[in-house]
A and B are shown apart, each in its own frame.
Chain A
Amino acid sequence: MSAAQATVAARPRRRRSEISERRLAAYLVSPSLIVIALVAAYPIGYAIWLSLNQYSVIHPGLSRWVGLDNYRDALTSADFWSAVKTTFIFTAISVTLELVLGLIMALLMHSAFRGRAVLRAVVLVPWAVLTVGVAMMWKTIFDPDLGFINQVFQALHLPGAHTVWLGQSGWAMAAMIFADVWKTAPFMALLLLAGLQVIPDDVYEAAKVDGATAWQRFVSITLPLLRPAILVALIFRTLDALRIFDLPYVLTQGANGTTTLSLYAYQQLTANRLIGPGSALAVLTFIIVMAVSFLYIRLVGGNIRALADEK
């Protein structure tokens, strides 16, 4: 909004000096900067400040500066590293699966057939459901006695009909990934579909005329031209997955190797009232997510620009 105002307002002042125009620009963007500072910078700064202090739940109003102690405690605790491991395993597997499934769904939705509009709408339903709702639903589905999965296994006389899915280390993580993929693959598909739709048809027609097979067209045309969309979708999903909280919170309460970083920080901060150490964990999570997004932008950001320039 402010950018639009700036262009409109700046026009009649073109003759004035450069500096006043800059100052005007600064004035015009300042409201948004103040809003950003209030909603983003202040809480982040406050969390960092809290993480350098130790607050007591035993003695009222007592706090003391402990420097980096909380960080040292976190970085030397086994719980923290197991949470990091859990978070990264979850992110890597779920995002990969979502990308593959999302791509297949996008290609299906892109091709012309009857009922395509209906399919597009239907496919998006899981994504529209609240994550907590999804988690509750999967918790019921994975219930060992009354759950849908074990009922189906039983009806088909398959082994494993009495598996306690959420009560075992490997399966609990698998169930969590399954639920996440089910929910967010459609979102991936939506982003990729948008990418597919901007690829001009004449490129494909030219390739067909040259005798390229469907596979060749996919590998040499679709994939390279879809790359910006894939990268954007990957960034979105990776950053989301790194912050995963609702699924383990509802499904397992973090049992059986499903305590993710966000859940761990929440437990320390909210349930245990360890304000200092909990804030340190939150800041560490923030740093990890930031680092990963910087990495993406470095590796990928230039790529996107280069691709955009090519076009």
Chain B
Amino acid sequence: MNRKLASAGAILACAAVAAGCGSSGGGSTGGSTVAGVGNNAKTVTPDMAKNAKGNVTWCIGKDTTGAFAQVVKLYNAQGQAHVKLLELPTSADQQRSQLEQREQAKSPECDVLGMDVIWTAEFAAQGWLRDVTPAIQARASEFIPSTVNTAKINGKDWAIPFNTNAGFLYYNTSKVHQAPTTWQQAFQVAKSSGGLGIQGARYEGLTVNFLEMLYSNGGSVLSSDGKKATIDSPQAQQVLTFLQQGVKNGAIPKSASTWMEEESRNAWQSGKVALLRNWPYVYALAKQAHVKFNLEPLPKWQGGSSASVLGGYNLGISTYSKNPGGALSFINFATGPAAQKKFFIKSSLPAVLTQTYNDPAVKKAQPFAPQLLTAVQQGKPRPVSPVYTQISEAIYKNVYSALWNGESPSTALKNAQNQITKALQTF
């Protein structure tokens, strides 16, 4: 492991060019490596949360179902620290820039930061997060391990998972009688039954769709030390060629080039496509629409293993917080069994604790909970990198060209490889 290397002062010498620092390959079971993350970070330990007092502000995206406010109320009733909920806009981009502005100004306003899993690395790299490794370790057995990995960099934990998300394969049971277990089968079935709905527009969703197949085929985006792009690989070539053929032979409809989550759901619900790759939120809506359907964790690549890409939010403690103990006390509560159950049932925010999925009340409210647990356990984080958005852009732009504009998979992957390499060098 290169934990020692990363935390050594020597890293500062080559901090100027992140990609240029040499270190032996990772080999760690989870988490990612990013040069420079973790130098001089303040650490939060579990005992700081004991006898928490004072005020804590929780900054997170809009509380659309009222569950956040309810949990805050329950926590405040315990008579420890007093938590105030500060709602950020609904749009994820807006949330990110609101948090960034506060952190850049070293504002102590937000003690607990609600971050999309894909920004966590950037926030850690900027030195805005406290190291919560001891706090995670104290509760390690409670969490689904894959969710913790979305915030693990250089062997340290930078945030505590708050909710998660994983892709499912939905299928219309009047057209498809048995769930395909491989992507190859799924495309065969799709060809004869009206198609597979994917998120094919040029945006983050296409990256997710592509990564799920890539991961399942054993491919990767970054080397285990996080310093090199590895997307231009035979595995990626196979996946991209396979997808391109799927578009050509009608397994994926042409209109998917403009589909995001909602468009693909509408196409599936209205019967235009028989199969659909989408998030758990589709479940309740499809039930309401009286669609006859079933769902399974995503198929796997022939000869590979199943892999969904994880979504969801993490909670971090701001470096500039004046009350890290209170912040941790509240995070432990919000990620604890009672609150997680509430969020899952009331807001359909999938829990990060294994036990929540076995709760009878949860199973009753969200009957797909067992499949979701499997999907999340098999889930993989998107590349944990401070330049994730650039990496993702390099992926979806080039995959889009290959799928819809006839670019050859080898050219597309070469371009993606170059763009990711350039992004990793972003000074």
Q: Could you tell me which A residues sit within 8 Å of B by CB distance?
A: 54, 56-62, 64, 143-146, 162, 164, 166-169, 252-256, 267, 270-274
Contact = CB atoms under 8 A, between A and B. Distances in A.
B98 interface: no
Contact of B400 (A61, A162, A255, A271): A255
16 contacts: A57-B122, A58-B36, A58-B125, A58-B426, A59-B125, A60-B127, A61-B127, A62-B427, A143-B263, A162-B255, A164-B255, A167-B255, A167-B258, A168-B404, A252-B202, A271-B93
* For the complex of A and B, 9 pairs with smallest distance between CB atoms: A167-B257, A144-B255, A255-B202, A60-B127, A60-B126, A272-B390, A166-B258, A58-B386, A164-B255
B295 interface: no
B18 A58 contact: yes
Nearest to B203: A253
A258 B271 CA distance: 31
B389 interface: yes
A167 B401 CA distance: 11
Contact of A255 (B201, B272, B389): B201
Contacts of B255: 143-145, 162, 164, 167
B126 A57 contact: yes
A56 B427 contact: yes
A87 to B, nearest CB: 18
B270 A145 contact: yes
A267 B393 contact: yes
A169 B202 CA distance: 13
Contacts of A272: 387, 389-390, 393, 423
Contact of A256 (B125, B386, B405): B405
B267 A58 contact: no
B266 interface: yes
A144 B386 contact: no
Nearest to A258: B202
Contacts of B427: 54, 56, 58-59, 62, 64
Contacts of A61: 127
Interface of B: 15-16, 18, 34-36, 93, 97, 122, 125-128, 201-203, 254-255, 257-258, 263, 266-267, 270, 272, 386-387, 389-390, 393, 400, 404-405, 423, 426-427
A145 B270 CA distance: 10
A56 B426 CA distance: 6
Contacts of A64: 427
A57 B270 contact: no
B50 to A, nearest CB: 31
**Which of A62, A166, A273: most chain B Cβ within 10 A?**
A273
B195 to A, nearest CB: 11
Given A58-B18, A58-B427, A255-B400, A145 B386 contact: no
A164 B93 CA distance: 28
B36 A167 contact: no
Contacts of B18: 58-59
Contact of A253 (B128, B201, B267, B390): B201
Contacts of B34: 58
A145 B257 CA distance: 12
B272 A60 contact: no
Contacts of A273: 122, 389
Nearest to B12: A59
A164 B253 CA distance: 10
B418 to A, nearest CB: 12
B254 to A, nearest CB: 5
Nearest to B104: A61
B426 A57 contact: yes
Contacts of B389: 271-273
A167 B257 CA distance: 6
Given A57-B387, A272-B389, A167 B426 contact: no
Contacts of A253: 201-203
Given A59-B15, A271-B93, A272-B390, 13 more contacts: A58-B34, A59-B16, A60-B125, A60-B126, A143-B263, A164-B255, A164-B258, A166-B257, A167-B257, A254-B202, A255-B257, A270-B93, A272-B423
Nearest to A150: B255
Contact of A144 (B254, B270, B393, B404): B254
A54 B34 CA distance: 20
Nearest to B201: A253
Contacts of A255: 201-202, 257, 400, 404
A58 to B, nearest CB: 5
A146 B266 CA distance: 9
Contacts of B257: 164, 166-167, 255
A270 B100 CA distance: 11
A166 to B, nearest CB: 5
A255 B387 CA distance: 22
B263 A169 contact: no
A62 B427 CA distance: 8
A168 B36 CA distance: 43
B42 to A, nearest CB: 14
A169 B390 contact: no
Nearest to B266: A146
Contacts of B35: 58
A143 B126 CA distance: 41
B36 to A, nearest CB: 6
A162 B195 CA distance: 15
Contacts of B400: 255
A254 B427 CA distance: 26
